[in-house]
A and B are shown apart, each in its own frame.
Chain A
Amino acid sequence: MEEEATSAPVAAGTLREPAHRVSPRAIRMWTVHALIGMVLLLAGQIAWWILADDPRIWHWVVGALWLVLGGGYAIIMPRWRYHVHRWEATSEAIYTQRGWLSQERRIAPISRVQTVDLKRGPITQLFRLASVTVTTASAAGPLEIEGLDVQEARRLVDALTAAAAAETGDAT
């Protein structure tokens, strides 16, 4: 998991990256997500410490692994994600890029867009962020942009809704 890998997002192909990054505060949001996972794992270890009375050395080994792997994840994953996550919308199309180890780009014509959702979970709200989900007629592959600034997300939703409303047909 070397840092250099972050400098090579989805191989270039013949399409450039989407133009806009998400909010830098998304790094903190993803870090909190990672830390929550770590805390849950720690709770498991505390329970193990209290309930079992096998040699303590194993508890320290697992604890050390937890610190190194979990800590590494909490430090690397959010920054890598931020480096990858990008989006761009025009009046004709929407284009997103996301992921970290596994990365993907999604492109859909606005004419095929069916719904545009803005979602704000508790952690997302904490950092004044929002995620925008754009669905098409396909049950597979909604386009999701995580970690957008709330104001920017609202503008995007309005723009997409207006563009999609201009289209006719049942988009299947």
Chain B
Amino acid sequence: MSQPAAEQTIQADDSDWRRLDRRMLLIHPIQTLIRALPALLAIFLVRTGSDNSDRWELFILPLIVAYGFARWFTTRYRISETQIELRHGVITKQTTTARLDKVRTVDLTAQVWHRMLGLAKVEISTAGTKDRLVLDALSLEAGRRLRTELLHRAEGTVPDSRAAPAPTAQSPVDRAWPAPHGPPVVATGARDEELLRLELPWVRYAPLTMSGFVSAAALLGVGSQLANQLSDQGEIYETAFTWAIGRGLLLGAVLLLLAVTALAIGGYLLAFWNFRLTRNPLGSLHTTRGLLTTRETSIDSSRLRGVEIGEPLGLRLARGGRLKSVTTGLGREARGGTDVLSPPAPSARVQTLALDITGDGAAVRDPLVPHGPAARQRRHTRALAPAGIVAVGWAAMVLSFDWPWGWLLVSVLVLLGALALARSRAAALGHLLTDRHVVVQSGSLDRSRVVLDRGGVVGWTVRQSLFQRRMGVATLIVTTGAGRQHYEAIDLTPAAAYALIGEIHPDLLAQFPTP
């Protein structure tokens, strides 16, 4: 390990290089140890089986710890006028660079051990690359400063980025990082405007969201598998099981409901505890959340292309909703919840928030232009056709196996459910054009209303399946560099679709005049 020499050359060459927070010297060895644990166990197991009495495995432990230290000593980063550069790797040296003008979001994440030591991991996403530049970790203060500086570089508040030659233990990077000139724009400063703060009663929405539903489904899955196994064991078990069901069905259902609710509430609190959304004087949005692992996400205002108001079925029935940002630069996949602008919350609050952020009341609240009878009919066909097949198949089974006639009710329920779904999906369809935004809405189980900045539209697709052509409708797909990358207005008439394109990009259609 020749890091002292390496350190000298670095210091001699360029003094800009900075290290991660010193407190990581405590965490890195432990992390390395945990990662090496399976290998250690394997070695230990092999050794107990052999009669070799050399205790050379004792040397492995210090080596691993040394490797952990080496990670800290070999990780350096620096920020120049144009780019941020990260060098790391004990054995293989890696250099990652990101152009500062391409920085889209900066997230601070603090897991439990980070929080105990006052540290935070800084993740920097840039446009055009899938990789994130990760600094694991800086002190919370230093991380916040770095974020402020990265996000507001465009505004011309670039501080001098010279590292102090010998950082003090107290706050190594604080000294290395003088406060920006001009107005203080620290993202959590006093001049920030608070847009939303979690209110505890909102946990009532927790069991109504998808995550609550998923835990319920998992539990139900385990339960039914158990039931199947039991009923395969023969008649004794079967009678016992039927008896148990008769006795315990109600109790079981209640317990299941309680368990699902508890799980969902737990998940909600873990994710959204202390949720706070603020906007700083320059317009950047900033969220803080989390019970054990805390997350801070900042979105530069120039990256924001709109919002997505989500009202999945469960939330909608309870007059709840949630808000996500539509932001450029994040790929479709690499966005672990960085787009959350509100936890599941009362609809009215979500709407007010959407209004606050977009400044366009019509886009958020106004009734949408419906998509007409053909769209309505297609929603019914598409829901009822598969449901009809299921219902008929089920009925055939009931009749051919001589099951009780009551089971036919299932077929009826399936059909009624499909009808309700079709009606709800048809009612959801709509679009709207305001002077600043284009709005599209669709879906029932997962309904969303997307308010997209007109300027965020980068292209158009008009798609027609064979069936859509026969019905004289088309799906208009708005492509954008933000959020989900494309948003659909389903089953418009082609005329309405082209009219919408013409409204937003008048010059575009004029390029292809009818002769």
Q: Residues of A with Cβ closer than 8 Å to B?
A: 5, 8, 10-16, 18-19, 88, 90, 92-93, 95, 101-109, 112, 136-141, 143, 170-172
Contact = CB atoms under 8 A, between A and B. Distances in A.
B161 interface: no
B512 A138 contact: no
Contact of B511 (A10, A92, A101, A143): A92
A11 B460 contact: no
Given A10-B474, A107-B501, A15 B512 contact: yes
A107 B459 contact: yes
B172 interface: no
B508 A104 contact: no
Chain B: interface residue count, which band? Answer: 35 or more
B509 interface: yes
A104 B488 CA distance: 13
B220 interface: no
Given A14-B509, A140-B479, A141-B461, 10 more contacts: A15-B501, A19-B512, A88-B512, A95-B512, A103-B463, A106-B462, A107-B459, A108-B479, A139-B481, A141-B479
B459 to A, nearest CB: 4
A13 B501 CA distance: 12
A104 B458 CA distance: 17
A106 B460 contact: yes
Interface stretch (B35-43, B244-252, B325-333): B325-333
21 contacts: A10-B464, A13-B498, A14-B495, A15-B501, A19-B512, A93-B507, A95-B512, A101-B465, A102-B464, A104-B462, A105-B461, A107-B460, A108-B458, A108-B460, A109-B458, A136-B479, A138-B479, A141-B477, A143-B459, A171-B481, A172-B127
Contacts of B479: 108, 136, 138, 140-141
B167 interface: no
A12 B494 contact: yes
Contacts of A103: 463-464, 469
B377 to A, nearest CB: 17
Interface of B: 127, 328-329, 331-332, 456, 458-466, 469, 472, 474, 477, 479-482, 484-486, 493-495, 497-499, 501-502, 505, 507-509, 511-515
Contacts of A13: 462, 474, 493-495, 497-498
B459 A109 contact: yes
Contacts, number: 126
Given A18-B512, A95-B512, A106-B461, A11 B474 contact: yes
Contacts of B465: 101-102
A103 B459 CA distance: 17
A93 B508 contact: yes
B475 to A, nearest CB: 9
Could you say which of B461, B502, B515 has the most chain A C-beta atoms within 10 Å of its C-beta?
Answer: B461
Nearest to B302: A172
Contact of A102 (B466, B482, B485): B466
